[in-house]
Structure 1
Amino acid sequence: MPTTPSQHAPENEPHRHRQVAESFGADAERYDRARPRYPAELIERIVAAAPGRDVLDVGCGTGIAARQLRDAGAAVLGVEPDARMAGLARRHGVEVEVATFEDWDPAGRAFDAAVAAQAWHWIDPVAGAAKAARVLRPGGPLSVFWNAHQLPSEIAEALGAACRRVIPDSPIDFGAFTKSAVDVYTPGLDKAADGMRQAGAFGEPDRWRFDWDRTYTRDAWLDQLPTFGVLTRLTPDELAEVTDIVGPAIDRLGGAFTMTYTTLAITAPRRRRT
């Protein structure tokens, strides 16, 4: 399901909701196992745009994007507020410092690119862009990106019904599961681009889009479901109630389905200092 600012905070300020932002580490192993990776074309484009190898990964989580960047030739430092997520990233060989990006001390270090994979909506978009600008070398891009997925309508409707039953008092619009994923993410992309403009240190933000598909078995998709912010804090019994509704919807499609993904990015280069 889309994990967007509007879903987590009615006032569209999810960076103020730390209890949700830092709930993903409750099952870091599952998160790392089940969450999709990012298109190789995106990773290669970020590395190619950087004036050097040093990349800062903001909100690096378990290091999914960091490992992809490392494999593409980058030297990556992660910043991650959840020690549980950071610990798993370290076990994968990623160097990580535990802090929120807003409070993190760069200690005079500079980077050739800064990225945030599925994480920028948890950071104040203006303050975050301004801080990224302070640590980026001239020409270094700030690139923030999300995997937006579009569930088949049968599964989206089942998931919405399950969430309305299990979380009846939630302010989240569960009908968004059936909407265009790109449309749902667009306000967050606009907010990220506006933050870069307001920081006053970047060139005009550019938008990148990468479309791809992935086939999920019933078990693989149900394994990923508990890693989404709307579900991370449910009890085991509540999660079981959700999967008991969603699982049969997948069975009716033959026990597997193809998910349409769109990876959306906002990127802007650090201007030359004057």
Structure 2
Amino acid sequence: MPFQKDNIHRNFSSVVKAYEKARHQYPNEIIEWCKSVIKIDHPLVLDVDCGTGISTRQLADTGFEVVGPDPSREMIAKAAEVKNPLCKYVVASAELIPFPNHTTSKWYNQYR
């Protein structure tokens, strides 16, 4: 069966409440690691596939300006319910993030 990106977006959109309930926050070690490797003043952090914005808010709580793109409108709507001036959310897939190349300087993938 071929990869069906639209089905994945649809599935995540249908589980917003369950996702929010199951994922309270990310381990502090991840946030601390981000702080340790970002060595510039006033960094812009992209939290790609931010979901309901949990990690976006955690990163913003450290003082980073964070943009959280996610392909699910429902996930972004849930994320935007918690107001934080350092967080901005956009509906966008990882492949079509609305930023020019070389906007950010670090990349992290927890699975690698």
- 1:141 paired with 2:112, answer no
Give 3-state SS (helix, strand or coil) of 1:141's partner.
coil
What's 2:91 paired with? 98
More helix by share: 1
- Return structure 1 stretches of 4+ with deviation > 6 angstroms: none
Q: Which residue number in structure 1 is paired with residue 74 of structure 2?
A: 84
* TM-score after normalising by structure 1: 0.35
Asked whether the equivalents of residues 22 and 81 of structure 1 are also in contact (C-alpha less than 8 Å), the reply is: no
Percent same amino acid at aligned positions? 29
Structure 2, unpaired ranges of 5+: none
1:31 to 19, 28, 31: 19
Matched residue SS, 1:102: helix
Which amino acid in structure 1 is aligned with residue 102 of structure 2? Answer: V
In 2, the alpha carbon distance for the partners of 1:38 and 1:82 equals 20
Q: Secondary structure at the match of 2:66?
A: strand
Q: Could you tell me which amino acid in structure 2 is paired with residue 135 of structure 1?
A: H
The residue correspondences of 1:64-213 to structure 2 (distance < 5 A) are 64-93=54-83, 94-106=87-99, 108=100, 134-137=101-104, 140-145=105-110, 189=111
Amino acid of the residue matched to residue 80 of structure 1? D
Aligned length: 106
In the alignment, structure 1 segments of 5+ residues that lack a partner are 1-8, 109-133, 146-188, 190-265, 267-274
Q: CA RMSD in A?
A: 2.1
- Residue 43 of structure 1 deviates from its aligned partner by 0.6
TM-score by length of 2: 0.80
Structure 1 position 104, deviation (Å): 2.6
Structure having the higher strand fraction is 1
